[in-house]
Structure 1
Amino acid sequence: MPTRTTHPRLTSALAVVCCTVTAWVTTACGGVVARSPVLQDLVSERTVPGAAELSQDAHGTVRFATAGVADVRTGRRIGLTDRFRAGSITKTVVATVTLQLVAEHRLNLDDPVAEHLPAPNATALTGAERGRTVTVRQLLTHTSGLFSYTDDDAFFRRFFGQGFTEHRYESHTPDALLGTALAHAPYGPPGTRYRYSNTDYLLLGMVIRQVTGHSYAVEATRRIIVPLRLTGTSFPGTRATLPLPHGRAYSAATGDAPGAKGLTDVTDLNPSAAGAAGEMVSTLPDLNRFFAALLSGTLLPPAELRAMRDTSLSGGSYGMGVFPVRLPCRRTVWGHNGEITGSYVQTLGTADGRHVVSFRTNSDTRLSSLAQTKLLATEFCSTDG
């Protein structure tokens, strides 16, 4: 859930983490975790307090590295199974559930969205469409043209900016968030151009509930989290605290009095402002497991997986809940990033899901595209898997 609706950053299969040890790192089985030079650069530049990376290559080798600290007060390091807010990676999960419903013939990608909303929201959306129908496909690909509720200035200040301290524990309903979005004119007619909008996935969460009778969180838990044994992944709803174990989360964007490195502790917050666009909590091992399963075809039939990777409607920028990243070595990897107050994470993998990497920082300070490219090139361009 980017704080503003920009392109997911970086301009431009199921193995459990186990006792695979390389010279670079000692994994979860114990010992001291080694530092990654790329992550260390981020911390040394005082960009973030702490960073971590977990990868599994095509040969099954698992590597875990950290730099800096999870808690600037105690000096605690980031742990392999630390929980953190995964932001817009929630969208990949919501897209997967939606495409599973398509495969089950309970939805069609070209269905008008209003057909799958409760009456008040359907009426409000129809009025906002102004004669042009938004489809499920357009929500998935961010081509609906609908205004993103996070672009509303008042909302942005309350949740991401100077009003954070006063409003950090407020609850937000999907209906209210949709109302904020629909109070603004669309960015453009549906289907005419790509524009990342958190409203799109807010609506997909509503569609899932209407079609299944259950929330997107319940459906994602039943269809993805339980079968894949993602024991560190959850949808907190209105719960402000993170499950244990966890470090701290820091931000330079809020109005609190700054602490170490000019950052404020923002670990506790009510994530209902993100909802289906970005509320999920997860761990690095869970994200790697999920994306390995998704990209390898474990979670979706071939037709739906092809649709997920089809970027033609967005001009090559975005598929359905995933986007491609083209590396300097001319390899393309697939995944998503997540940004929410106090946290940034990105997971990417090869098209077959055999080589995946997740990296995270415990701050929402934006990493440069150069730093991210360096990290990913080191991971994917220096190996044969």
Structure 2
Amino acid sequence: MPISRALPVAPLLLTLLAPGTASLPSEPHPTPASSYLPRLVVEGGAPAAAFLARGHTPAEGETFGSAGPGIGAEDHFRAGSITKTFVATVVLQLAHEGRLGLDDGVEEYLPGLVRDDGGEGSSLTLRTLLTHTSGLPDYMTALPPTDPALTGAAGPSARPVTPAAAVRAAVARPPVTAHGVYAYSNTNYALLGMVVRRVTGHPYAAEIRRRILGPLRLTGTSLPGARTTLPLPRSRGYHRSPADGTVRDVTDADPRFAGAAGELVSTLDDLDAFYAALLGGRLLAPAELATLLDTRPTGGRYGMGIYPQELSCGTTVWGHNGHITGSYARTAATRDGRHVLTFRVNTDAPPGAALETGLLEAEFCPPARSEDLRD
């Protein structure tokens, strides 16, 4: 979710926010962004941090930077709510194909599951799910933080709550906002995952693999389903207890509860490639790409599975963040997709808005070149 709306929830599985292996050039002189990474460790309290950036032109190549031990350029990690951009892309592709309409009611696809105040669900459309303007409660807060489905506290016999069951728990509660008002909710994207299955006959994960991962050759990205381990190579993921500061290794975790709202596993290189392709027009037709980036329904805060952030230099970057067990990640890119950066820390404690914005500005708002100053 956009950093201004980050909320603490369950201790183990937190609110779900945000091709091939690259050959990385040597970097004898740190870039402003890589020089910023130690602050994520020292001030942000992350065990380690890393980023991978792609420049404006092919000649600029890629830049990798890291701080702290045990985190590599090719590591797989949990990308959390960055999953939402993939899901939104699939939904808009289906809209382009005429297989669904963004203003169709949720009731048309999932009859009886979600009701609005009038009891019919007709005002809850796919568009309101995509833009988080449905008013539906977030299923991450619909269950108590001590629920075994979230913490695994009940031992090996405990079964994770499925997204469908979590959605039912959420929609049984009153709306959190008036219809049409922006309020970030993982429930929206869990429902969209169900809609994709109803429309295509295939799980949303299969459609993401067929429509995005395959064509872009994102071989480091997966939707693990019930798999609790990360592919190799990987770095460890950690959770620090806010109560007593105890640090736990939470690298292995069941991602089923996250579902279409945040189960994605990826790499720095794959996420850079995905957002470059999306914003560069390789995945969506122009009309659907414009719809994806239309923030008017949310007052400029969110598009569809993607959100903008204006930096102090006047540049606006587009992307998403992901906050899940043992991992926090963020991808940001210029509107044309030619300049993109993904960074991550191997803890589920976000670095904080100031540190995150500082890193983005170090990358996207570099100091003026001497020849520019002479003009």
TM-score range relative to shorter protein? 0.7 to 0.9
Residue pair 2:53, 2:340 contacting (<8 A) in 1 also: yes
State the match for 1:40 in structure 2: 38
Deviation at 1:17, TM superposition (A): 2.6
Deviations 1:20-63 (A, max 9, x none): 3443469xxxxxxx992211122123611010000011023210
State the match for 1:225 in structure 2: 213
Pair 214,9 (structure 1): closer, same or farther in 2 beyond 3 Å: closer
| 1:1-385 alignment runs, 5 A limit | 17-24=22-29, 36-45=34-43, 47-60=45-58, 61-69=61-69, 77-117=70-110, 122-126=111-115, 130-131=119-120, 133-154=123-144, 156-158=145-147, 163-166=151-154, 170-191=159-180, 193-253=181-241, 262-382=246-366
Deviation at 1:159, TM superposition (A): 7.0
Residue pair 1:237, 1:271 contacting (<8 A) in 2 also: yes
Pair 202,43 (structure 1): closer, same or farther in 2 beyond 3 Å: same
Deviation at 1:129, TM superposition (A): 6.1
Residue pair 1:8, 1:336 contacting (<8 A) in 2 also: no
Query: Which amino acid letter does the alignment assign opposite residue 365 of structure 2?
Result: C
Query: Which amino acid letter does the alignment assign opposite residue 199 of structure 1?
Result: T
Within 2, Cα distance between the matches of 1:179 and 1:288? 35
Within 2, Cα distance between the matches of 1:4 and 1:222? 34
3-state SS, counterpart of residue 344 of structure 2: strand
Within 2, Cα distance between the matches of 1:39 and 1:15? 24
Within 1, Cα distance between the matches of 2:99 and 2:168? 27
Query: Which amino acid letter does the alignment assign opposite residue 307 of structure 2?
Result: F
Query: Which amino acid letter does the alignment assign opposite residue 243 of structure 1?
Result: P
Deviations 1:186-205 (A, max 9, x none): 113432x0000000000000
Number of aligned positions between the proteins: 357
State the match for 1:31 in structure 2: none
Within 2, Cα distance between the matches of 1:365 and 1:242? 19
3-state SS, counterpart of residue 125 of structure 1: coil
Aligned structure 1 segments of 4 or more residues deviating by more than 6 angstroms:
5-10
Deviations 1:122-146 (A, max 9, x none): 2131367635520000000000111
Within 2, Cα distance between the matches of 1:101 and 1:202? 17
Question: How much identity, in percent, do the aligned residues show?
Answer: 47
Pair 311,56 (structure 1): closer, same or farther in 2 beyond 3 Å: same
Within 1, Cα distance between the matches of 2:352 and 2:52? 20
3-state SS, counterpart of residue 256 of structure 2: helix
Query: Which amino acid letter does the alignment assign opposite residue 185 of structure 1?
Result: P
3-state SS, counterpart of residue 211 of structure 1: helix
Deviations 1:332-366 (A, max 9, x none): 01000000021100001000000000000000112
Residue pair 2:328, 2:344 contacting (<8 A) in 1 also: yes
Query: Which amino acid letter does the alignment assign opposite residue 68 of structure 1?
Result: G
TM-score by length of 1: 0.85
Within 2, Cα distance between the matches of 1:196 and 1:46? 24
Query: Which amino acid letter does the alignment assign opposite residue 66 of structure 2?
Result: T
Residue segments in structure 2 that go unaligned for 5+ positions in a row? 369-375
3-state SS, counterpart of residue 115 of structure 2: helix
RMSD: 2.9
State the match for 1:72 in structure 2: none
Residue pair 1:165, 1:254 contacting (<8 A) in 2 also: no
Deviation at 1:369, TM superposition (A): 1.1
Residue pair 1:43, 1:50 contacting (<8 A) in 2 also: yes
State the match for 1:30 in structure 2: none
Deviation at 1:153, TM superposition (A): 4.4
